Structure 1
Amino acid sequence: MGMSKHIMEDQTKEQKCRLVPMGDSCWLIQFEQEISPEINIQVHAMAAALAQAKHRWIREIVPTYCTLAVYYDPMQIDAHDVECYLWAELALLNEKGSTMSLTWDVPVLYGGEWGPDLTSLALRSGLKTDEVIALHANRTYHLYMLGFVPGFCYLGKVPAKIAAPRHAKPRKAVPAGSVGIAGEQTGMYPIEAPGGWQIIGRTPVKLYDPRRETPVLMRPGDRVRFRPIDLATYQFLHQKSKSGWQLTPVEGTSNSDSTGHQGRLINYRPRYGASWPSGIRDARRRSHGHLFLASSQPAGRQ
């Protein structure tokens, strides 16, 4: 135990990590117990390092906001050996360099039947619905983890003014693509599922498709920005999605990059392709060809 204890003490001082045994086939790595992009990036960097090592004795790696569960086969390796190995990997974590993430601009139709809780959330917050939309869309969110159902994105944090509790009685079915708020989190439903989040809008983007080579569109560590769209745009993209259209990322960035993303106008046509239906052409003329305005705030650090 001498080696393990020595490494553990060094790492506790530097990274404030703990290793907690969870039965006879799992170690839980506890990073600092707070929700922040910086800590979550460490979680996923460690998960990536373990996945890339491809050890046959590792059964599963489960990252969350600030913990990482490592399930192993006790018939192939001793618990103490796993403990020593994990501390050694944590010691090397800062030397492995940054991980790469993608930035996504997600179109969202807010309110109405697509966002049935928008009006009540605005009343609760003492805001107009347009103000809630502006606050929700005017920042870059960090994707902390996937869970609940395949591809469900846990994003944060929303501005305090629009933070809202879950419904006391969850809905039996929330449509795929729904965008909601729960506490300081915002999230996207990849499939129809029960849920208690405050639903304020819906995206036509297919977040999960088992027919794709990579079924889940986004991954933890990515950055997400919401772009308000009108009904005509939603219907157009919804039809394209049925035909196999897939959202592509705006850019790839390093999670260690602190310079952020500079705002710019994004032209609709190169992004989504195809010809313009009449409703989209009219909207394009009114907005001089630009339907989405990227945030000028630094990415992923709000």
Structure 2
Amino acid sequence: MTEQSTEILYLPNARYTWGGDEFLFVEFDEAMNLTANYLATTVAHGLEQLDLPGVVDVCPANASLLVRFDPDVLGGEELRRRVQELEAQARTATQHTVETRIVEVPVWYQDPYTAEVVQRFREGYHQDPSGTDLDYAAKVNGLEDAAEFIRRHHESPWLVSMVGFVAGLPFMYQLVPRARQLEVPKYLSPRTDTPPLTVGHGGCFACIYSVRGAGGYQMFGVAAAPIYDPGQELPDFEDFLILFRPGDIVKFRPVDEAEYRAVQEQVEAGTWRYKQAPVTFDVEAALADPATYNRTLLEALDGAEN
């Protein structure tokens, strides 16, 4: 293990605070990183498996965890003790891995739907009203043009660090060294409109807007298939109406208009399925050699059937 990965992996103990009588907030770090997210996800899974009477909801986030509980059934100090035990187990495990999956998401970059909305929200909303969101994203990342930004956006996988804000919206963290991460500030003022399935970016996080609505992330394209299916009509949603879970790995794949339309036809026919493969995500391997580890993730996806 490298000196850098050792430093990142072993964070100080989490900070535990209360939100009134019904909420326990566990902060693993002040900033998003793979270790803090791993701890949040692992402790959340462990708490769900305990199935403690009195635990109402468990909500993992980028670098923290919020637990809602019924104090008439489960005492706060008892809950904190059980969560601290799970934290200790996660830290002292001989392997820091998560059983998850990698999912391929087809994206039409520079599509006409987000392009129209981009043009409606420039003056008073955007840092650079003269160009597009992709032009601006390339500029602030020191890249040659929008095409280079798009390539950097889809060539490496992303970790779903949390799901929320609106139903089924995934926040995604790029699995590359911090110095190579794409970072783009949000709009100066939020839009009142964002097309459904917009692929957006704010700070270091990518996202996919699951439904149409307001938003402040830069807009780069649209995903071709739903990630939120309240009617559970598509095969990938048989078990749950939301596609993504914290810990999932996402690989964006650029498509042209013809392929986008073809995917839409499969969605309408109820036959669309996401290409995906099971993987074991190893935090230490991802930190030690991101480029090599990402190739193993992408090889698993390449071998999957659509």
Shared fold, TM over 0.5: yes
Equivalent residue for 2:22, pick from 7, 16, 25: 25
Distance 2:24 2:247 in 1: 22
Report whether the alignment pairs 1:238 with 2:289: no
TM superposition shift of 1:164: 1.7
Identity %, equivalent residues: 22
Deviations 1:273-297 (A, max 9, x none): xxxxxxxxxxxxxxxxxxxxxxxxx
Match of 1:139 in 2: 156
Match of 2:187 in 1: 167
TM superposition shift of 1:145: 0.3
Question: What TM-score do the two structures reach when normalised by structure 1?
Answer: 0.77
Q: 1:128 to 1:268 in 2, by over 3 A?
A: farther
Report the secondary structure of 2:65's partner residue.
Answer: strand
User: Which stretch shows the higher mean deviation, 41-50 or 238-247?
Assistant: 238-247
Deviations 1:12-54 (A, max 9, x none): x975222212211221112133311222111111101111111
Report whether the alignment pairs 1:178 with 2:198: yes
Distance 2:43 2:304 in 1: 39
TM superposition shift of 1:162: 4.7
Match of 1:64 in 2: 61
5+ unaligned residues in a row in structure 2: which ranges?
Answer: 1-9, 116-132, 233-238, 286-292
Question: What TM-score do the two structures reach when normalised by structure 2?
Answer: 0.76
Distance 2:271 2:295 in 1: 26
Deviations 1:187-208 (A, max 9, x none): 1111112101110011112100
**Paired letter, 2:271:** W
User: Which stretch shows the higher mean deviation, 151-160 or 37-46?
Assistant: 151-160
The higher relative CO (CA closer than 8 Å, separation ≥ 6) is in: 2
- 8 Å CA contact 1:109–1:201 kept in 2: the answer is yes
Report whether the alignment pairs 1:109 with 2:98: no
Higher Cα radius of gyration? 1
- 8 Å CA contact 2:156–2:294 kept in 1: the answer is no
Match of 2:236 in 1: none
- 8 Å CA contact 1:110–1:118 kept in 2: the answer is no
Q: CA RMSD in A?
A: 2.7
Distance 2:162 2:301 in 1: 27
5+ unaligned residues in a row in structure 1: which ranges?
Answer: 1-12, 272-302
TM superposition shift of 1:92: 2.5
Distance 1:119 1:186 in 2: 17
Aligned residues: 259
Report the secondary structure of 1:172's partner residue.
Answer: coil
Distance 1:44 1:156 in 2: 14
- 8 Å CA contact 2:275–2:304 kept in 1: the answer is no
